[in-house]
Amino acid sequence: MKRNFVRQLAVDCRGLTLLAFLATIGTLVLGCAKSPKEIRLIGATMGTQYAITVADSNNGVTKAELRGDIEAMLEKINRLMSTYDSASEISVINRQRSTNWLAISDELLVVLSAAKAVHQISNGAFDVTVAPLVDLWGFGATKEKGFVPDPNAVRDARRSVGSGRFELRGSPPGLKKMDRDVAFDLSGIAKGYAVDEIAETLKTRGLTNFLVNIGGEMRASGTNNSGKAWRIGIETPTVGERGIAQTIALRDTGLASSGNYRNNFVVDGVQYGHTIDPTTGQPTQHLLLAASVIHPSTMIADAWATALMSMGPDAALEVSTNVGVAAMLLRKNAASWQIITTAPFDEAVKQR
C-alpha cells in the first residue's frame, strides 16, 4: 500500500525556482517558476495528492473545465478501485464469496488484465490478490499498522493469495474467483492507471504538453513551457531528509516509483515496510530501498515498480535486465545507498 503526501519546497537553483511535489515513494518535479501561460491544478485523491501542469496556451480550455474533467475521472476511478470505499466495485467484489462469474466494469478488466500479465512476467512478484496480507500487516483499509500478526494468521491468509486463483473474460467483462476468499488490493497499479486516464482526458481537450502526477506516479506529454522535456527528480531514499538522488528528463512516457523508507513501522528493532512479498506473506526484508520504472504506460510502470520492490535488489536487477524493464534501483550499502540502472532506463533517459 502506498501512502503519499505533497509538499512544495522553493530553493535557489542557479536562479531558478525548484518546485518539488514530494511523494513518499520518491519523485520531485523540477522547473522554473509558474508561467502565466501554464495551468496548474492540485487536489486530493487516492489517499495522496494529484498535481497537474498544462503548458499549452491559447487552446480555449479553462482551468475550471479541466478541474471538472479531472475530478470527475478520479471520482469514477475511486468508485471502481478504492478499497477505502466500502461501496466501490472492488470492495463489493472482495466481499463476494461466490466462485461463479461476476460481471465487472471495462475499466476493472483493463487493470486486472495488466496485473495478471505483470504477475506472470515477474514470476509472481506482483500480485493484486495480496489484499488479505496487506490488511493483516496493517497497511490496508481495515487495520492500524504497528503490530506483527500471528504466524498462523499469515499462513492462513497466504492460502487465498495468488493471481492464478482468479480468471478473467473479455466479453462480457467478467471475473471468476477460483477461491472464494480471494480479495484484491489495487494500490500498486490503480494510481498509474488513473494517471494514464487523466492524460487521455487532457488529450481529448486538444492538449499535448502536460505533466500528470498522482502521488509520484507520472505521465509526461510533450514539453514544458520552455519547450524542453519535463525535468523529474528521483528522491533520495533517506528517512527524515529531502533531496534528489537523480534528475531525469521525461517526454511522452510514464514514470512510477515504489519504496519502503517512509511507509513502515518498527517492532523490537525490526523495520517492516509496506511492500509485502506475496510468496512469503511477509514485508520485504532486503537492501532495495526504492525502484523507479519508465514505461509508456504509467499503469505498467506502477506495477513493475511494486514488483521490483518485492524482489530485492539482485533479483530485481536480473529480472528487469532479462525482461527489458527500464528500471532505476536505489540499493542500500554500507556507506549510504547506490544507484543501479538497467540499459533500457539509460537509453530512455538519453533519448529525452
Instruction: Determine the pLDDT at residue 287.
Output: 86
The answer, yes or no, to whether residue 29 has pLDDT greater than 70, is: no
In the chain, what percentage of residues exceed pLDDT 90?
Answer: 62
52: how many CB neighbours lie within 10 A of its CB? Answer: 22
Instruction: Determine the pLDDT at residue 32.
Output: 47
User: Hey, what's the cell of 257?
Assistant: 516509483
Using alpha carbons, select from 315, 313, 322, 319 the residue that is nearest to residue 340: 313
204: how many CB neighbours lie within 10 A of its CB? Answer: 8
How sure is the predictor about 239, in pLDDT bands with cuts at 50, 70 and 90? Answer: low
Instruction: Determine the pLDDT at residue 285.
Output: 77
The answer, yes or no, to whether residue 223 has pLDDT greater than 60, is: yes
List phi, psi (to 5°) of 107: -65, -45
Instruction: Determine the pLDDT at residue 47.
Output: 84
How sure is the predictor about 6, in pLDDT bands with cuts at 50, 70 and 90? Answer: very low
List phi, psi (to 5°) of 12: -75, 130
Calculate mean pLDDT across residues 213-225. Answer: 94
> pLDDT tens-digit profile of 48-79?
899 999 998 667 889 999 999 999 999 999 99
Instruction: Determine the pLDDT at residue 276.
Output: 87
Instruction: Determine the pLDDT at residue 22.
Output: 37
pLDDT top residue among 203 and 8: 203
The answer, yes or no, to whether residue 82 has pLDDT greater than 50, is: yes
Using alpha carbons, select from 41, 5, 56, 47 the residue that is nearest to residue 26: 5
How sure is the predictor about 341, in pLDDT bands with cuts at 50, 70 and 90? Answer: very high
The answer, yes or no, to whether residue 294 has pLDDT greater than 70, is: yes
Give the integer Cα–Cα distance in Å for 87 and 274. Answer: 25
Instruction: Determine the pLDDT at residue 13.
Output: 27
> pLDDT tens-digit profile of 248-274?
999 999 999 988 666 667 766 777 677
> pLDDT tens-digit profile of 310-333?
998 999 999 999 999 999 999 988
List phi, psi (to 5°) of 213: -135, 120
Instruction: Determine the pLDDT at residue 221.
Output: 97
Q: Is 26 in contact with 216 (CB distance < 8 Å)?
A: yes
Q: How far is CA 271 from the centre of its chain?
A: 22
Using alpha carbons, select from 68, 69, 63, 12 the residue that is nearest to residue 37: 63
How sure is the predictor about 27, in pLDDT bands with cuts at 50, 70 and 90? Answer: low
pLDDT top residue among 7 and 267: 267
The answer, yes or no, to whether residue 111 has pLDDT greater than 90, is: yes
* Angle subtended at Cα 150 by Cα 144 and Cα 154, rounded to the nearest 5 degrees: 85
180: how many CB neighbours lie within 10 A of its CB? Answer: 11
The answer, yes or no, to whether residue 131 has pLDDT greater than 50, is: yes
Q: How far is CA 126 from the centre of its chain?
A: 12
How sure is the predictor about 283, in pLDDT bands with cuts at 50, 70 and 90? Answer: confident
